[in-house]
Amino acid sequence: MTLILGQRILCSLMSLGPSLHQLPVTGFRKAFDLLNNIGGVPRDKSVVVTDIAVPVADRQVGLRLYRPAGSVPTRSMVFFHGGGCVIGGLESHDGFCRQMAQQANMAIIAVDYRLAPECKFPGQLDDSLAAWNWVVDNAASLQLDAATMGIGGDSAGANIAVVLAMQLFADALPDKHLSATPAFQFLLYPLVDFRCQSASYTEHGRGLLLTAPITRFFRDSYLNNSQEALKPSVSPLLATDVSQAPKTLVITAEYDVLRDEGLAFVEKLQQADIAISHLHLQDCTHGFISLAKFSRKTRQRVREVCASLESIKLT
């Protein structure tokens, strides 16, 4: 199966000029937000949205709470956006969070964690753990049920979700803990191996939305040194014990430098007898949620992702 035409055209056009990671990081962020504003998942205005500022030490972490219109959801998910821990934020993923909330009938709490290179590892984990704990501790006042609250993210956001959900952060954040174990984890084309050396880096490392050079730029911006890529708190695929993993939904894409590590992570959880569902999209590239407006088929794939999320059973 070939890459969806709309995705293929957009990736080809974006490959004509210099790579976005060669811009100043502020320009890269603006370009990514613009791409999502123009081409991302359409914003469902019926979804009820509330912005929250959470105090954490000497700073604040922004959250955005999405509630589906016309129903009272029984489940919720704390969501971490992708972008290599360098780009992305509440605005870049606003349309996708709205669609997840409405279609999956789920409250979504998006987290605006600090970005690299201004904030290096493990600052993003620290913000995200604090955000998760705050939402859990304040679930009653937010009209959420902590017992049915999951955790999720796309790409590098999925990395954060895995490290928190599987409690792999002890070496990076000693003496910190989860207020509650997530009921499930949702991982959309997850980045789980920051060594960036699988075969898919060669097969799909050029000419797509996420390239091998961009991924390595993200890694080098996020980490303090190359040896950190060997830590399970950075590369959860390398964890020897995955028994803490909750029920898991993984979405992988064929045309993706992260394809092989995502598939290897699925196999690792399966071998550990973790309850896991896996959807492999044979005709999509990494970041297709940023290209949804340009293709009917891509919008259908987004609906399939949200349907998979809605179908997670917690009993």
Where are the chain's structural domains? 5-310
Instruction: Please tell me which residue in 44, 112, 126, 256 is annotated as part of the active site.
Output: 256
Instruction: Please tell me which residue in 286, 290, 295, 308 is annotated as part of the active site.
Output: 286
Assigned token pair, 184: 């499930």
280 catalytic? Reply is no
155 catalytic? Reply is yes
Question: In 10 A of CB 200, how many CB atoms?
Answer: 20
In degrees and rounded to multiples of 5, residue 109 shows phi and psi of: -115, 105
Q: Per residue in 102-133, pLDDT tens? A: 999 999 999 999 999 999 999 999 999 999 99
Domain 5-310 class in CATH:
alpha beta
278 catalytic? Reply is no
**What pLDDT is recorded for position 232?**
97
**What pLDDT is recorded for position 57?**
86
**What pLDDT is recorded for position 314?**
87
* CB of 265 closer than 8 Å to CB of 274: no
Q: Per residue in 58-89, pLDDT tens? A: 899 999 999 999 888 999 999 999 999 999 99
**What pLDDT is recorded for position 92?**
98
pTM of structure: 0.98
In this prediction, the residues of the chain whose per-residue pLDDT falls under 70 are none
DSSP state of 141: T
